[in-house]
Amino acid sequence: MSSGGSRARGRVPLMAGNWKMYKTSGEGADFVRHLAGELGVANDREVVVAPPFTGLASAVAAARGSSVKVAAQDVFWQAEGAFTGEIAPGMLTDLGVYAVIIGHSERRQFFGETDETVAKKVRAALDNGLLPIVCVGETEAEREAGAMEAVLSRQVPKGLAGVVATEAGALAIAYEPIWAIGTGRTATAEAAQQAIAFVRSQVGAVLGEEAAESVRVLYGGSVKPDNIDELMAQPDIDGVLVGGASLKVETFKRIVQFNEA
């Protein structure tokens, strides 16, 4: 399964499901067992699910010995301390968590996440051996005002402010246009490719060409079984971050098992 595109240079597709505030611990474990059974051992792509914090331990236990990995939806940057309600990176790795979503637009919109807090969380995740999945993307108003590139050329360098070039392969960026999240309005594959190529160019601008080639850039926003193949056929799209369609095994499985043109 090879597109002959840039992924041939070693960017393993990353297919990630963001469950948001859905699924109890037991429901998440059932999902992971079911998904793992359906997928078998797939080693040409990474499959990740991100339960709420309360579902991490049971998801990790259910995923043991399978190709499914587990991500958290957020993390705090301090190792420990008087930070009521927060979760430290070491607490995640202690559970066997593999990755962490950072700066999701819902966290930026509802919980005061900024480019500066994103940068601190990315640094802390890398320091603890967690794969950060850093979310960026413009609002509808910003897109209509022609400000997409201005937004991305702020969010990417600021979010990666603490990263050095050699770490680019140890992180992923998810480009999620906010107007496409949960709306059913996916960006066209061409528009997603274009924006993601721009994100990659921004990584190049701050960390250099080699880093830009090794960083994985995902698309997110109403990814579904019926648009996944076209999205994954784009040379710069290295995977997806899926919300709604990751909540059912059948739809997420089809997304994970995309067919490259």
Catalytic residues: 104, 176
Let me know: does 86 contact 107? Beta carbons within 8 Å. no
Say how many residues touch ligand PGA, by CB under 6 A. Answer: 13
- Minimal distance in Å, beta carbon 193 to ligand PGA? 18
Q: Which helix (H) or strand (E) holds 99?
A: strand 99-102
User: Would you state the structure tokens that stand for residue 245, as one six-digit string?
Assistant: 């369609």
- Minimal distance in Å, beta carbon 101 to ligand PGA? 8
Q: How far apart are CA 55 and CA 70, in angstroms?
A: 10
Cα 213 to chain centroid, rounded: 17
- Of 18, 202, 214, 251, the one binding ligand PGA by CB under 6 A: 18
CA torsion through residues 206, 196, 43, 9, sign: negative
Q: How far apart are CA 134 and CA 218, in angstroms?
A: 10
Task: Considering only the stretches 121-129, 230-238, 240-248, 252-260, report the one whose residues sit in contact with ligand PGA under the rule CB under 6 A.
Answer: 240-248
- Of 243, 251, 252, 255, the one binding ligand PGA by CB under 6 A: 243
Interface with ligand PGA includes 103 (CB under 6 A)? no
Which of 35, 38, 37 lies closest to 49, judged by CA? 35
Footprint of ligand PGA on 178-217 (CB under 6 A): 181-182
Interface with ligand PGA includes 71 (CB under 6 A)? no
- Of 62, 192, 215, 241, the one binding ligand PGA by CB under 6 A: 241
User: Would you state the structure tokens that stand for residue 123, as one six-digit string?
Assistant: 């640094």
Return residues touching ligand PGA (CB under 6 A): 18, 176, 181-182, 220-223, 241-245
